[in-house]
Structure 1
Amino acid sequence: MSELVDVAALKSALVSKHGEAQRARIERGVDQVLAQWRPEDGDVAAFIHEQFITDPKVLDATFARLERLFEQLDGHMNELGRELNWYTDLDLGPLLTVEPLLAAYDPSSNVTSDLFRAKVGFVVLLNFPLTTLAERMEQGPTWTRRQWAEARLTSRFNRRVPAEVEQESSRAIAAANLYIAEYNIWMHHLVDAAGNRPFPKGLRLISHWNLRDELKGDYADPNGLVKQRLILQVMERIVTQTIPAAVIDNPRVDWDPFTNTVKAAPPETVEEDAPKREVTADAASEPDTRYARLLATFHAARKADPYVPVAPTRIARAFELARELPEERVKALLTQVLESPLVPRVAKLMEARLGRKLEPQDLWYPGFKPGGKRPESELDALTRKRYPTAEAFAKDMPRILLGLGFTRAKAEWLAARIQVDASRGAGHAQQAMRRGDFPRLRTRVEKGGMNYKGYNIAVHELGHNVEQVFSLYSVDHTLLAGVPNNAFTEALAFVFQARDLELLGLGKPDAVAERERVLNDFWQTWEIAGVALVDMAVWHWMYEHPDAKPAELRDAVVAISRDVWNRYYAPVLGREGTPLLGIYSHMISYPLYLPDYPLGHLIAFQIEEHLHRKGPLGAEFERMATHGAVTPDQWMMHATGAPVSAEPLLRATEAALKQ
């Protein structure tokens, strides 16, 4: 746009009109407007002369008005989106054919485009500074809270992506989410060569979350190794897309994952009230649907690239804009854990406990966690009795929060602002974005009550929801609502989740349990760090091969997963060449989300160390969560006194191994 306007003359005229003291603001504001202005927007010089604000009182009033209105706009759009996804997200029976279409519609996709057309976005860019990540990292620690709120106000206008492009991305992600939400395996219908059924009738597990959690629970089962190896074979079939399409969410056929044969299930084995499905012995593989969904998300994201010059790829947007952590720094943190010499030492301890060489399923070894020594059936019985419905969990939230260290008044205040629903998928937390609306806790409640897997997820999601309440209702500027990025809300959720057994009345940790917690955190971080590297590498591959077909992407994911496994995991867990790291459903339904988990573990460990020194959890959790969406290192300095780092976890693991 600048070639159509005498920029120097425009700036000079403004300085003459408003004074030399305004030169820096004028220089920056004009450049910010011109970067986004289009010919169809009209006379830019006239707009700038009319809308540039110098009176501090008017500037303050404009800021306050925009902050209030954007809270309402974002909040109500969020509520509309929640309603459109109501039936696809919640376990309310079979979907109508119209439901996926409603879920794919994003009412907020036009908002930014409309605000630019209405010139509101240009008023913001003209009068408030649009900062770079480098500026926020270098200067942010000296900024006032108002300056931080201004930075978040302008950041919503750092791109001008057409509404139809945003809508296409929303449709692709919604379709991927629904695909994953209905990806269930009926475990009683997994059989071995002799026709044995190791899993109980009625057990329906979603991939990957429930499959992984079932595998963890099988360590306490005398027949656990057989069951674990069966689950691994299922996972590998899903990643390689050699899973028969007929067995997905179908309780009317039996499947041997090793021979990959399918046959009709005997009538007496079929679950009561089982959904109607075609009974067929067809072993034809799923037609690369998993990777078609991922490619659709990639192609939709790529269409936005030309409109975001500050971050011209989905990868750059994920790290530079969303996480505000450079990709290379994140990769270095993950690699530091993956290559740690502590890994074989922890593995040796695990082998001694298991009495055997480690195998690939030990990637998810839960034995350092107290609950890992309890049979899953015992924990299931306890949670089903306590939580027969989602409503029962909601009623118990004040007690849970009291047990976590919140005062009774604060526990009741929080519980009154969190709504609980039974989820169709594994579970999630959905934030509110305006005061007056409340976050939603979604977790899976099976027939007969909430099993331990559902409860464990519910406690995790409760951590998200408590953060969401504090960071919306108690933050000083609603423009700063939230935390720096998803890794931080994951970290705060991990803090809750780590106490799930204690909240069931199964004992508080002692010195031995604390040592085990450290080892568990280290092993979990090591596990998910490789998965995150796979996710990152897959997106780089897609950008390098933008015209790839689903089958080609499948082969690439398998190759990348095998490469990362062979480099970091095979020396410890064996089975060179397994594609197991490609199983995580987030890769399909939540684009580039997976790096947030290892980052979340590292952040959670730093928070836990601080809590052990300072405590109590309730007051400190609130203090941290109300600091808002500043940069990651600044948030961590406020929370714990140190920037984001892997060193605390590595030091503590070293000490735990010496004890």
Structure 2
Amino acid sequence: MLAPVLALALSAAPAPAPSPPPSLAAGARRCASALVSRHGEPERARAERGAAQAASLWRASDGDARAFEAFCLAQFQPRGPRLDAILGRFEAALEALDGHGVEIGRELSRFAQLDVGPLEPVDALLAAYDPGAHVVDDLFDGKLAFVALLNFPLTTLDERLAQGPTWSRREWAEVRLASRFARRVPAEVNRRIAEAAADADLYVSRYDVYAHHVLGEDGARLFPKGKRLLAHWNLRDELKAQYGQEGGLARQRALAKVLERIVTQTIPAAVIDDPAVDWNPFTNEVRPAPPETIEGGARPPAKVEASREPDARYAKILANFRAARAADPWSPTAPTLVARKFDLEREIPEARVVALLEEVLGAPEIRETAARIAARLGRPLEPLDLWYSGFRPAPARPEPELDALTRARFPTPDAFARALPETLRRLGFAPDRAAWLAERIAVDPARGSGHALGAARRGDRAHLRTRVGPDGMDWKGFDIAIHELGHNVEQTFSLYGVDSTLLAGVPNTAFTEAIAFVFQARGLDVLGLPPADPGSRRLAALNDLWMTYEIAGVALVDLGMWRWLYAHPRAAPAELRDATVRLARDVWNRWYAPVLGARDVPLLAAYQHMVNRDLYLPDYPLGHLVAAQLEAHLATVAPDRLGAEIERITTFGAVTPDLWMSHATGAPVSARPLLDAARRALDGAAAR
């Protein structure tokens, strides 16, 4: 048996990737020379680059230097019809592999992700199975990946940023094909990543708090019976909904305390997803709930343990980190998950993303907006006002009436699906395009708050997962569903509408989030309810700024946590907890305490994305910036042309963010449209 310290060290350090055979570099040079002799001097640059690329990922198990040279001579093609044919075959093959892999994974995870009956122990195992885990491994083992590397260019982020604007669509397709094989991560490593992610997903999807049993500072019951709030989404949204409600501030303070307890892991384990336990989050006292207060006929326990949740939140994050870190040695051009997220996925340098976020956080418009909020509320701001929602244009009816309206219109997910053509028409799509989109979007009942799952094969449908209660879809659920519909529309256009499926998609997650925000901002239009306030555009600009302010700090905490994890790979869950809370407080003290009037607040670490979506959160503030830039452009488009313009924008494909945005709006990604819109709103309001 290994000594405990040695066992910990071995578990913390990922296994090194095997090196190519030592003689392969010379073999690659010989191969390139032979290819030039065969195909002529114009092919020298391609031959040298392709042979070097293939050699860099060739392993001894793939063959010796002689086998490598023979492979290169047989599989390299000069520019011309045969190279075109290779590109076309890869395009068709990868669409089939990706598309059917998505379909298989969707079916196996449906029991864990969809509200289709009680969960069984096997459901977590089915959800953890990744049908694509072996694909890249198999493509390398079968030499197909080496064909791509030999014939098409691997590029760095610097090359894509500098040269991408001059590339043809064909050149972009070649670049995207080769980039599929920039890393050779073994199937076993991918399987462990998928298992850790599925385990975290299940943990998050079952993290409900029964609001009726959350007590106020004085021990009074604050919420009506029947509210079951998923952390963090529903807890945050319920907090937002309490603005302007009688007794709302007391309820908001209780919800903020719940979120704080989750972050610090001082939440009693007994109150998670249990409708039979009363809890005062201020004192942390728990007790059996009176029988008449309990939902669903459950019985109160005879005794309630007050012990806290045992750092499960941070154990899940650590499991994801260690699974992701195992891929580091197999990613020579991006040897950390942080590098892979920014250089390979977002294709925006990390330093530039941080600068964009800090430009928003430090903007004078933030303090001016905070002063407006305090004036509206008639009190000094508190940390919970990070989620102030009063700038959202007021609907024509109060939320209970909106709940009744959406529940009547969408009593089931099927009803929402049947209404998709009309919904899309109200969003500015021509009737034929609305019908075409609706045919390609399925609606499913979600266990969690909802999400969008795109297709990866033409002929398949995108899936909109939405949470619908037994009495129908409430206003919050509808708001989320319209957001997810934006994702589905983008996913559909950017698959079916691109000129090559090798370019399917958008530059990164922030861009699909931006399209989703554009849809979400028009939810009232779908219901036929115009904003009540004639200054709604002004209010929307301030709301967008404040939402970006909220999530920008959350993103910096997420990034800081991953930086800390790489510096402390042997950390225990309690150490990660303390470090994350400290990071959240540090970011708060720099950017939020001067505005919201309190120090050492850990709320920026409350987002569940930190648990089940590795370093995903920076995409949200980037999405707000992209959305503001798109909205500034779409404001110049006639309402009945909105759908056509969204289609034009989203069919440009997965090029770099600045190139995509320049095509969409005429300028690269910037924080200025967001800040400029807020400035106009502030100045306009002051002038009234």
Shorter-normalised TM-score: what interval?
over 0.9
Q: Which residue of 2 aligns with 1:159?
A: 183
Q: Deviations over 1:246-293 (max 9, x none)?
A: 10000011111111111111111111255x896641110000000000
Q: Which residue of 2 aligns with 1:389?
A: 412
Q: Which residue of 1 aligns with 2:673?
A: 648
Find the aligned partners of 1:465 and 1:621 in 2 and give their Cα distance.
12
CA change 1:345–1:373 in 2 (3 A) is: farther
- Are 1:409 and 2:432 an aligned pair? yes
Instruction: Kindly indicate whether the alpha-carbon contact (under 8 Å) linking 2:217 and 2:254 is maintained by their aligned counterparts in 1.
Output: no
Q: Secondary structure of 2:592's partner?
A: helix
Find the aligned partners of 2:394 and 2:128 in 1 and give their Cα distance.
39
Find the aligned partners of 2:420 and 2:494 in 1 and give their Cα distance.
19
- Are 1:206 and 2:206 an aligned pair? no
Query: After the TM superposition, which residues 129-144 of structure 1 pair with which residues of structure 2 at under 5 Å, given as runs?
Result: 129-144=153-168
Amino acid in structure 1 at the alignment position of 2:57: Q
Q: Paired residue for 1:145, among 165, 169, 188?
A: 169
Q: Give, in angstroms, the shift of residue 375 of structure 1.
A: 3.8
Q: Give, in angstroms, the shift of residue 508 of structure 1.
A: 5.1
Instruction: Kindly indicate whether the alpha-carbon contact (under 8 Å) linking 1:371 and 1:501 is maintained by their aligned counterparts in 2.
Output: no
Q: Which stretch of the first structure deviates more once superposed, 64-73 or 1-10?
A: 1-10
Q: Which residue of 2 aligns with 1:23?
A: 44
Amino acid in structure 2 at the alignment position of 1:202: G
Amino acid in structure 2 at the alignment position of 1:634: L
CA change 1:291–1:277 in 2 (3 A) is: farther
Amino acid in structure 2 at the alignment position of 1:649: L
Find the aligned partners of 1:359 and 1:386 in 2 and give their Cα distance.
37
- Are 1:363 and 2:386 an aligned pair? yes
Q: Secondary structure of 2:306's partner?
A: coil
Instruction: Kindly indicate whether the alpha-carbon contact (under 8 Å) linking 2:504 and 2:653 is maintained by their aligned counterparts in 1.
Output: yes
Instruction: Kindly indicate whether the alpha-carbon contact (under 8 Å) linking 1:253 and 1:279 is maintained by their aligned counterparts in 2.
Output: no
Find the aligned partners of 1:526 and 1:295 in 2 and give their Cα distance.
27
Q: Paired residue for 1:252, among 252, 276, 286?
A: 276
Q: Deviations over 1:24-46 (max 9, x none)?
A: 11011001000000011011111
User: Which runs of no fewer than 5 residues in structure 1 stay unpaired?
Assistant: none
Find the aligned partners of 1:302 and 1:278 in 2 and give their Cα distance.
42
Q: Give, in angstroms, the shift of residue 371 of structure 1.
A: 3.7
Q: Give, in angstroms, the shift of residue 469 of structure 1.
A: 0.7
Find the aligned partners of 2:637 and 2:227 in 1 and give their Cα distance.
43
Find the aligned partners of 2:33 and 2:482 in 1 and give their Cα distance.
59
Find the aligned partners of 2:523 and 2:217 in 1 and give their Cα distance.
38
Name the % identity.
59
Find the aligned partners of 1:89 and 1:516 in 2 and give their Cα distance.
36
Find the aligned partners of 2:70 and 2:301 in 1 and give their Cα distance.
67
CA change 1:358–1:637 in 2 (3 A) is: same
- Are 1:294 and 2:310 an aligned pair? no
- Are 1:613 and 2:632 an aligned pair? no
- Are 1:125 and 2:125 an aligned pair? no
Instruction: Kindly indicate whether the alpha-carbon contact (under 8 Å) linking 2:346 and 2:509 is maintained by their aligned counterparts in 1.
Output: yes
Q: Which residue of 2 aligns with 1:566?
A: 589
Instruction: Kindly indicate whether the alpha-carbon contact (under 8 Å) linking 2:311 and 2:573 is maintained by their aligned counterparts in 1.
Output: yes
Q: Deviations over 1:388-423 (max 9, x none)?
A: 111111111111111111001111111111000110
Amino acid in structure 1 at the alignment position of 2:193: S
Find the aligned partners of 1:563 and 1:8 in 2 and give their Cα distance.
52
Q: Which stretch of the first structure deviates more once superposed, 129-138 or 628-637?
A: 129-138
Q: Which residue of 2 aligns with 1:10?
A: 31
Instruction: Kindly indicate whether the alpha-carbon contact (under 8 Å) linking 1:220 and 1:375 is maintained by their aligned counterparts in 2.
Output: no
CA change 1:483–1:409 in 2 (3 A) is: same
Find the aligned partners of 1:550 and 1:3 in 2 and give their Cα distance.
41
Amino acid in structure 1 at the alignment position of 2:89: R
CA change 1:195–1:373 in 2 (3 A) is: farther
Q: Give, in angstroms, the shift of residue 374 of structure 1.
A: 5.7
Q: Which stretch of the first structure deviates more once superposed, 370-379 or 57-66?
A: 370-379
Q: Give, in angstroms, the shift of residue 571 of structure 1.
A: 1.1
Find the aligned partners of 1:8 and 1:292 in 2 and give their Cα distance.
48
Q: Secondary structure of 1:419's partner?
A: strand
Instruction: Kindly indicate whether the alpha-carbon contact (under 8 Å) linking 1:252 and 1:279 is maintained by their aligned counterparts in 2.
Output: no
Q: Which residue of 1 aligns with 2:603?
A: 580
Find the aligned partners of 1:522 and 1:230 in 2 and give their Cα distance.
26
Amino acid in structure 2 at the alignment position of 1:16: S
Q: Paired residue for 1:634, among 659, 666, 682?
A: 659
Q: What is the count of residue pairs matched by the alignment?
A: 658
- Are 1:34 and 2:55 an aligned pair? yes
CA change 1:158–1:280 in 2 (3 A) is: farther
Q: Which residue of 2 aligns with 1:281?
A: 304
Find the aligned partners of 1:343 and 1:623 in 2 and give their Cα distance.
34
Q: Give, in angstroms, the shift of residue 378 of structure 1.
A: 2.5
Q: Deviations over 1:151-197 (max 9, x none)?
A: 11111100001110111011001100110000000101112355421
Q: Which residue of 2 aligns with 1:623?
A: 648
Q: Which stretch of the first structure deviates more once superposed, 376-385 or 348-357?
A: 376-385
Q: Give, in angstroms, the shift of residue 440 of structure 1.
A: 0.4
CA RMSD of aligned residues (A): 1.4
Query: After the TM superposition, which residues 21-420 of structure 1 pair with which residues of structure 2 at under 5 Å, given as runs?
Result: 21-42=42-63, 43-54=67-78, 56-192=80-216, 194-272=218-296, 280-371=303-394, 375-420=398-443
Find the aligned partners of 1:279 and 1:174 in 2 and give their Cα distance.
34
- Are 1:453 and 2:476 an aligned pair? yes
Q: Secondary structure of 2:552's partner?
A: helix
Find the aligned partners of 2:74 and 2:409 in 1 and give their Cα distance.
63
Q: Which stretch of the first structure deviates more once superposed, 196-205 or 536-545?
A: 196-205
Amino acid in structure 1 at the alignment position of 2:23: L
Amino acid in structure 2 at the alignment position of 1:178: L
Q: Give, in angstroms, the shift of residue 652 of structure 1.
A: 1.8
CA change 1:10–1:194 in 2 (3 A) is: closer
Q: Deviations over 1:604-659 (max 9, x none)?
A: 00100101113431111000111110000000000000000001111221121111
Instruction: Kindly indicate whether the alpha-carbon contact (under 8 Å) linking 1:89 and 1:423 is maintained by their aligned counterparts in 2.
Output: yes
Q: Deviations over 1:331-365 (max 9, x none)?
A: 00000000111111111111111111111111111
Amino acid in structure 2 at the alignment position of 1:21: P
Instruction: Kindly indicate whether the alpha-carbon contact (under 8 Å) linking 1:252 and 1:277 is maintained by their aligned counterparts in 2.
Output: yes
Which TM-score applies when normalising by structure 1? 0.98
CA change 1:366–1:373 in 2 (3 A) is: farther
Instruction: Kindly indicate whether the alpha-carbon contact (under 8 Å) linking 2:479 and 2:523 is maintained by their aligned counterparts in 1.
Output: yes
Q: Deviations over 1:559-608 (max 9, x none)?
A: 00011111111111122111000000001111111000000000000100
Instruction: Kindly indicate whether the alpha-carbon contact (under 8 Å) linking 1:213 and 1:453 is maintained by their aligned counterparts in 2.
Output: yes
Instruction: Kindly indicate whether the alpha-carbon contact (under 8 Å) linking 1:189 and 1:253 is maintained by their aligned counterparts in 2.
Output: yes
Q: Secondary structure of 2:541's partner?
A: helix
Find the aligned partners of 2:151 and 2:513 in 1 and give their Cα distance.
35
Q: Secondary structure of 1:98's partner?
A: helix
Instruction: Kindly indicate whether the alpha-carbon contact (under 8 Å) linking 2:396 and 2:532 is maintained by their aligned counterparts in 1.
Output: no
Find the aligned partners of 1:194 and 1:649 in 2 and give their Cα distance.
41
Find the aligned partners of 2:395 and 2:402 in 1 and give their Cα distance.
10
Instruction: Kindly indicate whether the alpha-carbon contact (under 8 Å) linking 1:216 and 1:372 is maintained by their aligned counterparts in 2.
Output: no
Q: Give, in angstroms, the shift of residue 51 of structure 1.
A: 0.8
CA change 1:356–1:194 in 2 (3 A) is: closer
Q: Which residue of 2 aligns with 1:432?
A: 455
Q: Give, in angstroms, the shift of residue 127 of structure 1.
A: 0.7
Find the aligned partners of 1:352 and 1:192 in 2 and give their Cα distance.
26
Q: Deviations over 1:87-130 (max 9, x none)?
A: 11101222111100111111111100100000000000001111
Find the aligned partners of 1:574 and 1:386 in 2 and give their Cα distance.
43
